[in-house]
Structure 1
Amino acid sequence: MNGNRRQFTVHLPIRAANPQTAAVIARTIGHTIAAAFRALDTRDITLTSPDEPEVVHRVFCGRALTTGRRCVLRTDHSGDCNPRVAR
């Protein structure tokens, strides 16, 4: 982290029919917030279920790129990593 900046985690419970839908919602929230606030680290966005809080699923690839940025595509994407979402 940067100097005296500390890291915090915001928990935002959502309801979804299945983990795939929850991941889509989480990625959408992540991309939206990241566009407005540089403080969001999208590679650390994860999903858990109240029934299994110890089982954590990543929603973004997060692989480090040669540019120093991180891949913002879903964890199971095909093809090359990308630091930006195609619009």
Structure 2
Amino acid sequence: MTERWVIHLPVTAPDLLRARILARTAARVLARLSARVEPGGVTVSAEDQQGVRHWVFCDRPLPGGGRCALPPDHTAPCSRRTPWLNRR
């Protein structure tokens, strides 16, 4: 028996785009609170098709370590941080 447990937290959104946005936001916030959060493993699904998962992050490995933080269907080069979060 494993000592690791996975939290399943049902949260609803009106469509896939908003579900991915909410999931990305929640994953980033939770990752700041605990190193045990794995944002790259976050998926969303339709309520009546929970076996059909849609990835929230690209999660490709990056040179020098780390993972891509962009959406799974991005066309820009992989990055640790989304470009729109770099603007300040």
What TM-score do the two structures reach when normalised by structure 2?
Answer: 0.83
Q: Aligned-residue CA RMSD in angstroms?
A: 1.6
- Aligned partner of residue 38 in structure 1, secondary structure: coil
Equivalences, count: 83
CA distance in 2, matches of 1:81, 1:7: 30
Segments of 5+ residues of structure 1 without an aligned counterpart are none
- Tell me the percent identity: 31
Partner of residue 77, structure 1: 74
CA displacement 1:3-51 (0-9 Å, x = unmatched): xx84432111112110110110000001111122111111100112221
1:62 is matched with 59
Is 2:15 aligned against 1:18? yes
**Unaligned runs of at least 5 residues, structure 2:** none
1 or 2, which has the higher helix percentage? 2
